[in-house]
Amino acid sequence: MEAVFRTCAQTGLKVDRQAERLIKVHAVAGVFAILFGGIAAVLVLLTRWPAVHLLDPTSFYRALTFHGINMLIFWIIFFEIAVLYFAGPIVLSCRLAWPRLGWAGFGLMVAGALLINIAILAGRADVMMTSYAPLQAVSYFYLGWILFAVGALIGVCNFFASLVVARSERTYEGSIPLVTFGAATAGIIAVFTLAHGAIIYIPTWLWSLGIIANIDPGIYRLVWWGLGHASQQINVAAMVSIWYLLATLTVGATPINEKVCRSAFLLYILFINLASAHHLLVDPQLSPAWKIWNTSYGMYLAVLASMIHGMTVPASIEVAQRRKGLTKGLFEWLAKAPWGNPGFAGMALSLVLFGFIGGITGVTFGAEQINIISHNTLRITGHFHATVVAGTTIAFMALTYYVLPLIFRRYVISQKLATLQIYLFATGMIIFIGGMTTAGSYAIPRRYWDVQFATSQFQPPVEAAAFLFLGIMGVGGLFALAGGALYVLLTVGTVLFGRRVPDTPGAVPLAALPQDKGQHVPISGTLVLVFVFLASFIIYYFLNWKWLADIWLVK
């Protein structure tokens, strides 16, 4: 298949039309997934909110399974594959290595997603996203996972093959751009993630067909989390790449020292997947030494990587803004940043919420012993809504407002509503996460139909404060759902009815790179921000050890 290119009038990049079409279909599939997952989110939220308690138990557990898989797997991975098709062939202006295989991969992902969703909606897979053996679903549910994983793996390999094409056809000089480097990190993590998926789902599928007699529940949990947690680490690498990308597009930011940024990505590749141990800290089958080494990503070197990105991204923005003359005091550069641009606002909120809420709670709950007072409570659910929703999803949403004019070549139907969408969603998520995580510290379990225990064998008294926080979670959740619905409306509306972007340079406003006069630019504002972050981290971390010390003795 001969590659056909167009030249982007806005960026000057050569765009392979097949890669562009694949980006479009993956993004559209992602939006379908967030729509499905969002509808289920309404039902789950309104059941978890004790004042409403909408669904019956069967429907609740079914909706929760559907919500988790559509959001955490389909929305995220479809969008990530779209990011890979952008960061490879498009950024490097090369042809896509295997266009036909790209479509085959997409087809497999869609087929897998449909099988899984059909199994859940047919009531044949009320097993949650994790489907812990010996809990068993219908066999085509597991087959769906295998097809989806193979399809995603094809997308990832197509990205790597395109890197080889760009190199051998010399479409660029020097080292690949940072965004491509970050995407390659996500791609490498995706390979071992999806390999874990194959290792666990192939035997589980055979077990569901009766070919294998039994699956050890301890080994299942160990290997499954190599898929389940690691798939969320693909997000981290993809999201950080998007931060760098959006910082460039919105304020013309350039990292101070790419050696630092790239080394941090390398630390992700080496260490981040060890964190699948976070789910196994209070399991019987693993030793404390195993738990401590793995839960700490080998001495927290992947946390170090995130703390580096948490500094280098704002520092690159500060330097760019100061070079534009915004040099007053510590924070003029930040106060006069383009907060009305949804791309910038989303990137900044994603970074702050991922770091301050998701990061701090994640590392704290992932300490081997603190996990005793967090495991399987709403604290965990609160934590990962901060990383995957407030972090990754807001970054993806922010990027969408550039994908629409640059790839779909349609102006967003209302830039004002797009900005409102980001703030509404982020505010809702902050309230939701605050309520959920705090309710979890009263031991309120996750994946639970009725926290009032009306039909339980015993009826434990629940503190009034826990209900208060569940109510706060409910209110915040409604705001976030409104923001999510607005996202779907804006994207679908723009693709169908948006004004076409003309092929004239400057038709899509992109930030110019400020001039580097070779002068040293201070990053004092950024340093203040990162030290505020560190102080919050230290306080929250040691408070949790204090709370742990107050419970019964156990060893």
Residue spans of alpha helices (H) in 354-444 = 360-365, 378-384, 394-406, 415-440
Q: Is 301 exposed, middle or buried (0-12, 13-18, 19+ CB in 10 A)?
A: middle
Which residues are paired to 194 by β-bridges?
A: none
Q: How far is the CB of 114 from another protein (least distance, A)?
A: 24
Residue in 43, 157, 363, 431 binding another protein, rule: CB under 8 A: 363
For residue 230, give every residue at least 6 positions away whose Cβ sits within 8 Å of its Cβ, in sequence order, or none: 189, 192, 193, 196, 272, 273, 276
User: What tokens were used for 137?
Assistant: 């679903």
Nearer Cβ to another protein (23/523):
523
Q: How far is the CB of 478 from another protein (least distance, A)?
A: 24
Residue in 276, 421, 441, 494 binding another protein, rule: CB under 8 A: 441
Name which of residues 466 to 495 contact another protein (CB under 8 A). Answer: 466
Q: Cα torsion for 5, 8, 13, 14, to the nearest 10°?
A: 10
Nearer Cβ to another protein (131/494):
131
28: contact with another protein by CB under 8 A? no
Per CB under 8 A, the segment of 322-330, 428-436, 468-476, 530-538 that binds another protein is: 530-538
Cis peptide before 134 (omega within 30 of 0): yes
For residue 460, give every residue at least 6 positions away whose Cβ sits within 8 Å of its Cβ, in sequence order, or none: 453
Residue in 1, 496, 506, 552 binding another protein, rule: CB under 8 A: 552
Residue in 312, 341, 393, 421 binding another protein, rule: CB under 8 A: 312
Euclidean distance between CA atoms 83 and 80, whole angstroms: 5
Q: Cα torsion for 103, 106, 107, 109, to the nearest 10°?
A: 160
Residue in 5, 160, 331, 541 binding another protein, rule: CB under 8 A: 541
Nearer Cβ to another protein (457/504):
457
Name which of residues 209 to 228 contact another protein (CB under 8 A). Answer: 216-218, 221
Q: Is 551 exposed, middle or buried (0-12, 13-18, 19+ CB in 10 A)?
A: exposed
464: contact with another protein by CB under 8 A? no
- Single-letter amino acid code for the residue at 461: P
Element (H, E) at 7: strand 5-7
Q: From the centroid of its chain, how far is CA 263?
A: 21
Nearer Cβ to another protein (153/375):
375
Name which of residues 369 to 408 contact another protein (CB under 8 A). Answer: 369, 371-377
For residue 404, give every residue at least 6 positions away whose Cβ sits within 8 Å of its Cβ, in sequence order, or none: 410, 411, 412, 491, 494, 495, 498
164: contact with another protein by CB under 8 A? no
505: contact with another protein by CB under 8 A? no
Q: How far is the CB of 56 from another protein (least distance, A)?
A: 10
**Strand ranges (E), 251-334:** none
# chain residues binding another protein, by CB under 8 A = 108
Task: Please give the radius of gyration of the chain, using alpha carbons only, rounded to the nearest integer.
Answer: 23
Q: How far is the CB of 57 from another protein (least distance, A)?
A: 6
Per CB under 8 A, the segment of 114-122, 146-154, 325-333, 439-447 that binds another protein is: 439-447
Residue in 311, 345, 348, 436 binding another protein, rule: CB under 8 A: 311
Neighbours of 426 (CB within 10 A): 23
Residue in 248, 321, 387, 400 binding another protein, rule: CB under 8 A: 248
Nearer Cβ to another protein (107/298):
298
335: contact with another protein by CB under 8 A? no
User: What tokens were used for 495?
Assistant: 């693709």
Residue in 335, 532, 538, 543 binding another protein, rule: CB under 8 A: 538
Neighbours of 170 (CB within 10 A): 8
Q: How far is the CB of 479 from another protein (least distance, A)?
A: 27
Per CB under 8 A, the segment of 107-115, 300-308, 470-478, 483-491 that binds another protein is: 300-308
Residue in 329, 445, 502, 505 binding another protein, rule: CB under 8 A: 445
Residue in 124, 283, 489, 501 binding another protein, rule: CB under 8 A: 283
Name which of residues 108 to 147 contact another protein (CB under 8 A). Answer: 126-128, 132, 134-135
